[in-house]
Chains A and B, each alone.
Chain A
């Protein structure tokens, strides 16, 4: 990871040096130029710090947990677009934008495979899932994922066969027999 740090760090340092050259060697009249340099350097440096923190948190290497779909992204973008269009056609559109944004937030919860999940088919065959697996769930992910084979243990024990619906004819015959038995019983009582 040292080279990644070097790239981002050198970038930020290089831009700071340029800003200092501008400031001391050329003495610009305004302050905007320095502000822009500092702003841009802070942005890239901030990204670099985020990378550093992620590295220290161990989020390096192949990513195993993958989301299954990105429908939330569609609604979030539509919400943002409708909300911003309020600038042209009235801020009441922002109220409409609220609904797709809420829907996006709601959808986002279920889109990522749970912790311990390994996407199917696994990109790297025999690799272990990321993080401590609480349970193993062979979910499908991404639009073109291959379906889990029918005999795979991921499907769990075979489902019990559904109860057979009574046949209509048999039902009718049973009903007739039952009715006849009741009638016979009543006749015997009369005798």
Chain B
């Protein structure tokens, strides 16, 4: 427990608006509330996207099942991918930055909080519009999450589903762009006195890199969906190859950095969790900062590796830049491992999720190098190998890190502790479920199973792996239910969280749980900031003064 801990500050409602009222939340200008709304909405949408995935796994359990029609299967995989990328992982990544960064840099609020709230509402309306595609006569969008023309043009995919998908993506992306801009502005201009850039926590740096990528890449997505919308009105446009290939370039110029947008904040979260539960200062802080920025800058130059098989991208260049990503990634891995090695480890639930992230994401990363090589990519294009690689990156990697962050910061945000027993049950179910689901997909891909097929024949030899994958998906679903139960129990039968339940290192743990309106108050002042781990500094100072006195 840090010495900065104190009693919680009672907050009273503003006259006319109750603090906990719906209006108080939905029109709030408090970065914590907007962040929690964004993160909460994305977790609810994770359930929706997960439900779609479960239906697809049920369809593929055995050959020639008819759980879903072919059309519905196409809609489900499109909406699963679109929801996960545009509505779940990206908003969660940016939303958790919105919640934590002002706290970590000692700012009372985010810069331009009204714009931030506008961005949340753009995201929410975007999600509603995209999901409303299921109510359209033609059904929801069914062209895959990247909506390549000419397939996604009105000539080949008529109906409102695609139009609603375009509107949903545009609204949500615009919202995320604005949110990222306000958080980055806050970091660059609104830090507390003493909080130099190189004293910011690792997580805040990961958000800087993330938001730089968002600013550089997301406007391109808006242009891309604008072209797609134009092509829906004038379908002849897509008879010209320049528009089709141009769309792919624009889309992947967004599409690759967004992978790191969905990854970097979680690397930051894992770094914080590892340092806290290893009881050590994060190893190689400056190298990690440099590697994050290098990684992010390089990520803007690798998009062409998604287009090797089109023959319309400079393959050598993109292969080179893609493989160069190993350097910053290696630095990050080395730093994280070196932080853990030799530490006094505490195996709490967030620590378990963070530790599992390391080998699981490594599988996703190493297979990424494989598919970043043109000769191998030509073989694996559009096979289940890619599905496995992608899910090891985002599900086994980012989702595990996401839950490490959720278990770590839930007490801070809610003032209540999650139950360790239920958390560990969730963890083990997910470790088993994730690897059972996605590992067999590598074999399916190598054996030639194409992605996006709604069924297969018994003689194809895909049955066993698909059955294992579906069993794994069931374990993931059960694990998800355990997590929901954990949250419900924590809210219904609260175990109050002290300001710093984990003996953590960064500024957010110096204030109450949950933090007061402007994050720090006279009762919870900002402690002296002398490094990127100010609370650890305080503890070490206290220990040394005790030692001197004793």
Contacts and interface: CB of A to CB of B under 8 A. Distances in A.
Nearest to B304: A33
B314 A26 contact: yes
Contact of A73 (B115, B208, B304, B517): B115
A142 B29 contact: yes
A161 to B, nearest CB: 21
Interface SS of B by simple majority: helix
Interface stretch (B117-125, B346-354, B454-462): B117-125
Nearest to A44: B216
Interface stretch (A58-66, A162-170, A176-184): A58-66
A114 interface: no
B188 A121 contact: no
A136 interface: no
Contacts of B249: 30, 32-33, 36
Given A77-B125, A108-B114, A55 B29 contact: no
Contact of B300 (A3, A18, A26): A18
Interface in B508-550: 516-522
B114 A36 contact: no
B20 to A, nearest CB: 9
A146 B522 CA distance: 14
Chain B CB within 10 A, most for which of A43, A77, A125: A77
B215 A43 contact: yes
B109 interface: yes
Contacts of A27: 314
A106 B264 CA distance: 39
A40 B321 contact: no
A22 B128 CA distance: 40
A7 B317 contact: no
Nearest to B296: A11
Interface in A102-151: 108, 111-112, 119, 121-125, 140-147
Interface string A45-60: 0010001001100011
Interface string B148-182: 00000000000010011011001100110000010
B298 to A, nearest CB: 8
Interface size classification for chain A:
35 or more
A62 B212 contact: no
B28 A61 contact: no
Given A26-B317, A28-B314, A123-B519, A4 B246 contact: no
B68 interface: no
Interface string A5-20: 0011011001100110
Contacts of B175: 77
Interface string B312-325: 11101100010000
B403 to A, nearest CB: 28
A33 B240 CA distance: 18
A85 interface: yes
A25 interface: yes
A159 interface: no
B58 interface: no
A13 to B, nearest CB: 9
Contact of B29 (A29, A40, A68, A121): A68
B343 interface: no
A92 interface: no
Given A62-B107, A78-B121, A11 B212 contact: yes
A14 B297 contact: yes
Contacts of B296: 11
Interface of A: 1, 3-4, 7-8, 10-11, 14-15, 18-19, 21-22, 25-30, 32-33, 36-37, 39-41, 43-44, 47, 51, 54-55, 59-63, 66-74, 76-78, 80-81, 84-85, 87-89, 108, 111-112, 119, 121-125, 140-147
6 contacts: A11-B296, A26-B314, A40-B300, A73-B117, A121-B521, A143-B29
